[in-house]
Amino acid sequence: MTPGSDPAPESPLPAAPDLATHARNFRLRMSVIARETEGALDMTRDRYGRTVHEGAAAAARAHRDKAAVEAYATHLAPYVDALLDAARRALDELPPARHLTGWRTVLDGLAASAAEIRQALDRPAAPGSAVRTQHAALWPHLAAWADHGSIAANLADQNQHQHHKAPLTDEEQQAWTERAQAAQRRGELELTESWYATDGHPITLAHLIEDDDSRVVALRGDPDAPGWQVIGHFAHEYEAGQVLPAAVPPGVLRADVSEFNRPVPAPEVSLQELIRDVIEAQHAGDASNALLGATQRGYNAGPMIRLQELLETAGQFASALETVQGRQIAARLTALGRQIDFLTREVHDAAEDLGATVAVLPPHRTPALRVRPRPAVDTTPPTPPPRTTPARHR
């Protein structure tokens, strides 16, 4: 049997939780491979992030591709069809929710990637450059399983972790909700953890503090928006986890994100290096160039531009949370981004003015020697001054 073939008919397939475990083991192995590869690729770059050893970088990627194929063949290949079947069955049984269409598309994509990988494993290329080319072509499919196989694993595992909310009567739910709302107004409702259930509704755990006594409660809905309710109260988080609906994989900020297939980072000069350039500068133009480097735009963007990009991206993330606090924080980050943009333009103008001064530091700013000159070998060191013992007072 080749690594990509299905198990023999007489071999019983693992249960759904075990199928999910195989997918998670593959992701863990891919995480190790990705870390090792990043470390190897870092050794091929200069201090600005530019690749200067192309051969070593190509060898690192080839080693990564080969290790990923072997990891897939070991942890996932014999079980991938059964895993996808179990995930699809579970998906068909879930209540309607916004995310189900996207999950179905992910499962279809994983199935297509599995078919591509199986075809290559059943017909391995000849050793040498051909097999390296084949493994490189498989890497996007292997990365897709490492990135998104958790969705298939979670679905296959749904029956094992299909919890139901704590049984509260309407009166109990209303009473506990009012108690939690009162604690929130007092500042004594401490949120601790949040996740989404399969129906697409958020669930949040919180400590409800009353008279120096704390109780774990579960909230359904956005705690900062009207309409949230308490759906259960528990002695501790473990008890809550045994009763409440299980968490589903969270979403992503951008649909094309890939933890295992990141783009090559653009070269950049660190802020520390720019500061050092100013400290070591003697001409106004050199200090000006350091400031201009911080405000440079485009592919080789400077730190101030990257900071603005960070604020903008973090604002998009906060808004994508679709919560009251998330929208408020997004507005704050957007305002800060505008301030950084204004500051960047001011720094750029100041840098140009500094460069236009055509000036140098005055010579009276003399350097200090970091190493004192040693006396000549044939000279006698000066006699140290006599030591005096200070008088002691009682």
Identify any residues that bridge with 202 across adjacent strands, giving them in sequence order.
Answer: 196
Among residues 199, 250, 234, which one has the least CA distance to residue 220? 199
Output the pLDDT for position 372: 73
**Which pLDDT band, with edges at 50, 70 and 90, does 6 fall under?**
very low
Q: Give a three-class secondary structure readout of the chain.
A: CCCCCCCCCCCCCCCHHHHHHHHHHHHHHHHHHHHHHHHHHHCCECCCCCECCHHHHHHHHHHHHHHHHHHHHHHCHHHHHHHHHHHHHHHHHCCCCCCHHHHHHHHHHHHHHHHHHHHHHHCCCCCCHHHHHHHHHHHHHHHHHHHHHHHHHHHHCCCCCCCCCCCCCHHHHHHHHHHHHHHHHHCCEEEEEEEECCCCCEEEEEEEEECCEEEEEEEECCCCCCCCEEEEEECCHHHHHHHCCCCCCCCCCCCCCCCCCCCCCCCCCCHHHHHHHHHHCCEHHHHHHHHHHHCCCCCCCCHHHHHHHHHHHHHHHHHHCCCHHHHHHHHHHHHHHHHHHHHHHHHHHHHHHHHHCCCECCCCCCCCCCCCCCCCCCCCCCCCCCCCCCCCCC
Q: Is the pLDDT of residue 130 over 60?
A: yes
Evaluate whether 237 touches 257 at the Cβ level (below 8 Å). no
For the chain, give the percent of residues with pLDDT over 90. Answer: 73
pLDDT, tens digit, 9 for 90 and up, residues 257-280: 899 988 888 888 999 999 999 999
pLDDT 10s digits, 88-118: 999 999 989 999 999 999 999 999 999 999 9
What pLDDT does residue 365 have? 93
Q: 11-15, 181-185, 234-238 — which is least confidently predicted?
A: 11-15
Check residue 391 and give its pLDDT: 47
pLDDT digit string, tens, across residues 215-251:
999 999 999 999 999 999 999 999 998 889 889 999 9
Question: For residue 3, is pLDDT > 60?
Answer: no
Average pLDDT over residues 142-156: 95
- Token digits of residue 264: 């090559």
Q: Each residue of 30-50: pLDDT tens digit? A: 999 999 999 999 999 998 889
Q: What is the pTM of this model?
A: 0.84
**Per-residue pLDDT at 389 exceeds 60:** no
What does the pLDDT look like over 151-160, one tens digit per residue? 999 999 876 5
Q: Report residue 376's pLDDT band, with 50, 70 and 90 as the boundaries.
A: low
Indicate if the pLDDT at residue 368 is higher than 90.
Answer: no
Region 51-76 average pLDDT: 95
pLDDT band of residue 128 (cuts 50, 70, 90) is confident
- % of the chain surpassing 70 pLDDT: 89
What letter represents residue 361's amino acid? L
Q: Is the pLDDT of residue 63 over 70?
A: yes
Q: Check residue 378 and give its pLDDT.
A: 64
Distance of CA 113 to the CA centre of its chain: 24
Q: Comparing C-alpha atoms, which of 112, 104, 38, 103 is closest to residue 81?
A: 112
Q: What is the pLDDT of residue 388?
A: 56
Average pLDDT of every residue of the chain: 89
8 A C-beta contact, residue 1 and residue 10: no
Please state, in angstroms and rounded to a whole number, the distance separating the CA atoms of residues 202 and 244: 12
Dihedral angle sign, alpha carbons of residues 377, 383, 384, 389: positive
Residue 11, pLDDT above cutoff 60: no
What whole-number distance in Å separates Cα of residue 184 and Cα of residue 332?
23
pLDDT-derived band of residue 162, with 50, 70 and 90 as boundaries? low
User: Do 237 and 209 meet the contact criterion of CB atoms below 8 Å apart?
Assistant: no
Is residue 72 over pLDDT 80?
A: yes
